[in-house]
Structures are given as C-alpha cells and as structure tokens.
Amino acid sequence: MFVLYPLTSEKSVIGIEKENKMVFAVTMNATKPDIRKEIERDYGERVTKITVCITTEGNKKAFVLFERPGAAADLAAKLKVI
C-alpha cells in the first residue's frame, strides 16, 4: 500500500477543478509506477502523468493527472474530498 490518502487543501481543490489533477499523500518508498498501478487498480481511472515531491515536513506527495476529462472531480466526489 503506497497511496495513503487524498490531500485536501485550497490548491489541491483548484487542481481538481481546473487541471483534472488530484494530490495524494504517499509513502516515502513509493515510486511513480507503484503509485500509477495502485491508483488505476483501486479507483479504476487511467493515469496520464504523476509528479512527486517531498515536502519540507518530510512527507511525500503525488500529483496525479487523469486521462479522462472530469475524472478527478468524479473521484474527489466519490472519496468525499469536495
């Protein structure tokens, strides 16, 4: 299990609405292929691109861009993020 939970901040909600992108907290040992497989398997949405960063607090975040238009909004509503 590499993907921990979706992040909900003002910036992440803007990403959902405008860029079809969601932000997830992931484990430090998660790689992009690991994250892609888990997101596609668990949520049933194809992933176009993943960008990963490590925060100053030492946490790792994954910015996931979805292939289908509106997929991020649908998934966020399903997960009760927005």
Q: In the chain, where are the structural domains located? A: 3-78
Contact call for residues 60 and 32 (beta carbons, < 8 A): no
Q: Which CATH architecture has domain 3-78?
A: 2-Layer Sandwich (3.30)
CA-to-CA distance for 62 and 74, rounded, in angstroms? 18
25, β-bridge pairs: 5, 61
Of the two residues 82 and 34, the one the predictor is more confident about is 34
pTM: predicted TM-score of the whole model, two decimal places: 0.93
Predicted pLDDT of residue 11: 92
Residue 82: pLDDT band (50, 70, 90) is: confident
Contact call for residues 35 and 62 (beta carbons, < 8 A): yes
CA-to-CA distance for 69 and 57, rounded, in angstroms? 32
pLDDT tens per residue, range 45-75: 999 999 999 999 999 999 999 999 999 999 9
Predicted pLDDT of residue 75: 95
Contact call for residues 6 and 24 (beta carbons, < 8 A): yes
